[in-house]
Amino acid sequence: MRQRHDLLIAGTYLISMDPDIADIPQADVLIRSGEIVEVGPHLPGREAGGAQVIDAAGTVTLPGFVDTHWHLWNSLLRGTVSDRPGRDYFAVKRALAPHFELGDFYWAARFGLAEAVSGGITTVHNFDHNVRGPQDADANIQAHLDSGLRGRFSYGPPDSAPSTSPNDLDDLAKLRARWPEDHLDGRLDFGVAVRGPYRTPPEVYEREWHVARSLGMPITMHCDRCLREEGCRSCGLTRLEELGLLGPDVQVIHAVHASGQDIEALARTGTRVSLSPMTEMRTMGFPLLTELLEAGVQVSLSLDTLAMPTSADILGHLRAIISVEVARTGSGTVTPRRLLQLATIDGARDLGLADRVGSVTPGKRADLVILRSTDVNLVPSGDPAEALVYTGQIDNIDTVVADGRVLKRHGRLVFDDDDNPVTMAATCRDALLRRAAAAGDWQL
Domain edge (last residue) among 332, 350, 368? 350
- Burial status of residue 41 (CB atoms within 10 A of its CB: 0-12, 13-18, 19 or more): exposed
Domain assignment present for residue 47? The answer is yes
Collapsing DSSP states into helix, strand and coil, what is residue 405?
Answer: strand
Instruction: Report the distance separating Cα 392 and Cα 314, nearest Å.
Output: 9
**121 and 14 both lie in a single domain:** no
Instruction: Report the distance separating Cα 180 and Cα 270, nearest Å.
Output: 29
**400 and 325 both lie in a single domain:** no
Domain assignment present for residue 126? The answer is yes
Instruction: Report the distance separating Cα 116 and Cα 421, nearest Å.
Output: 12
Domain assignment present for residue 438? The answer is no
Domain assignment present for residue 440? The answer is no
Instruction: Report the distance separating Cα 283 and Cα 278, nearest Å.
Output: 9
Q: Please, what is the end-to-end C-alpha distance for the chain in angstroms? A: 36
Instruction: Report the distance separating Cα 313 and Cα 317, nearest Å.
Output: 6
pLDDT at 227: 45
Domain assignment present for residue 113? The answer is yes
- Give average pLDDT by consecutive 10-residue segment, the chain, 444 residues: 87 97 96 96 70 94 98 95 91 95 97 97 98 96 96 97 95 94 95 94 96 97 65 76 96 94 96 96 93 98 93 96 95 96 98 98 98 96 95 97 97 81 93 96 90
**16 and 146 both lie in a single domain:** no
What's the domain count of the chain?
Answer: 2
Domain assignment present for residue 180? The answer is yes
C-alpha distances in angstroms, 283 versus 29, 254, 287?
42, 11, 11
CB-based contacts of 177, cutoff 8 Å, min separation 6: none
**124 and 251 both lie in a single domain:** yes
Structural domain that includes position 122: 65-350
Q: Indicate the helix (H) or strand (E) that contains 390.
A: helix 384-391
**224 and 312 both lie in a single domain:** yes
pLDDT at 2: 74
Give DSSP secondary structure letters for 134-192.
HHHHHHHHHHHHHHT-EEEEEE-PPTT--TT----HHHHHHHHHHS-HHHHTTSEEEEE
**332 and 399 both lie in a single domain:** no
**41 and 73 both lie in a single domain:** no
pLDDT at 308: 85
**290 and 243 both lie in a single domain:** yes
Domain edge (last residue) among 310, 329, 350? 350
Q: What is the CATH number of the domain that holds 179?
A: 3.20.20.140
Instruction: Report the distance separating Cα 156 and Cα 228, nearest Å.
Output: 23
**30 and 73 both lie in a single domain:** no
pLDDT at 90: 92
Domain assignment present for residue 430? The answer is no
**32 and 87 both lie in a single domain:** no
Domain assignment present for residue 52? The answer is yes
Q: What is the CATH number of the domain that holds 44?
A: 2.30.40.10
Instruction: Report the distance separating Cα 295 and Cα 80, nearest Å.
Output: 39
Domain edge (last residue) among 300, 317, 350? 350
**375 and 328 both lie in a single domain:** no
Residue type (1 letter), 29: V
Q: Residue 417, by phi and psi: left (phi above 0), alpha (psi -120 to 50) or beta?
A: alpha
**194 and 312 both lie in a single domain:** yes
